[in-house]
Amino acid sequence: MKVTVLAEPQYSVHFAGFFSSQPDMEMVASGAEIVIDGQFFDLQEKYHNLQSFASKDTILISNTLTAPATAIAHNVTGFKKIIGVPMLPTQLAQQTAIEYSLPLQQEADDLSDKALLQLVFAKDIEKIGDSVGGIFPRTISMIINEAAFALQEGVATAADIDLAMKLGTNYPKGPLAWADEIGAYSICAILEALQVEYGHERYKIAPLLRLYAEAGKKFHQ
């Protein structure tokens, strides 16, 4: 299967490394059967880049961390099919399941779509409603944001917040350690997209989280 992978420079290694390790995948610069789009920071640039790969013979698997599949399909035309998958670059290899959604304007073919995604990701596949951020990325982003608020307000140290969450919820990692692994900038991008989409106060970004994102700083050094 011929695959082209697009991603922001800081995450190109994560995406290319994951998909190139999958069996029966041939990474190509053009003439791909599937375009895997990991981009999620600048939506206008994302749409512009994708349009140059559009083909009636090509399937697009596009990152929905900051835009739902319906919006992507509205802004990018000419692909055979578009499938939305919320992809956190640093978490792809660790996830046991992959969520996906379809644009509302596209007819569903659940058996075919799941079979394709299982081939591409080699993981369990779960269909969800079309939305910004999916389920796992949206949930972990909100948990990280609340942990950043707690740290900012002096409730506890980063180490103590993470330890409390690991012991109290049986999480594999504390939320601030997760933020370091995912990247505070990525978390902020997801939360900003959620706030634009829904307008809820619950997605307001903790000022400390934004500062860490802008400084490229980690909670655990």
pLDDT of 170 reads 87
Ranges under pLDDT 50 in the chain? none
Matching residue, tokens 């995604």: 117
Compute the distance between CA of residue 7 and CA of residue 162 in angstroms, rounded to an integer: 30
Question: What is the residue-averaged pLDDT of the chain?
Answer: 95
Q: Which two tokens stand for residue 208?
A: 């400390």
pLDDT in tens, 21-65: 888 889 999 899 999 999 999 999 999 999 999 999 999 999 999
pLDDT attached to residue 106: 92
Q: What is the pTM of this model?
A: 0.95
Q: What is the DSSP letter of 2?
A: E
pLDDT at residue 171, rounded to an integer: 86
Q: Where are the beta strands (DSSP E) in the chain?
A: 2-6, 26-27, 34-37, 59-63, 81-85, 97-100, 124-127
Supply the DSSP symbol for 101: B
Phi, psi of 202 (to 5 degrees): -60, -20
| Complete domains list, the chain, with CATH | 2-127 (3.40.50.720), 136-215 (1.10.1040.50)
How, if at all, do strands 81-85 and 97-100 pair? unpaired
Write out pLDDT tens, residues 90-99: 999 999 999 9
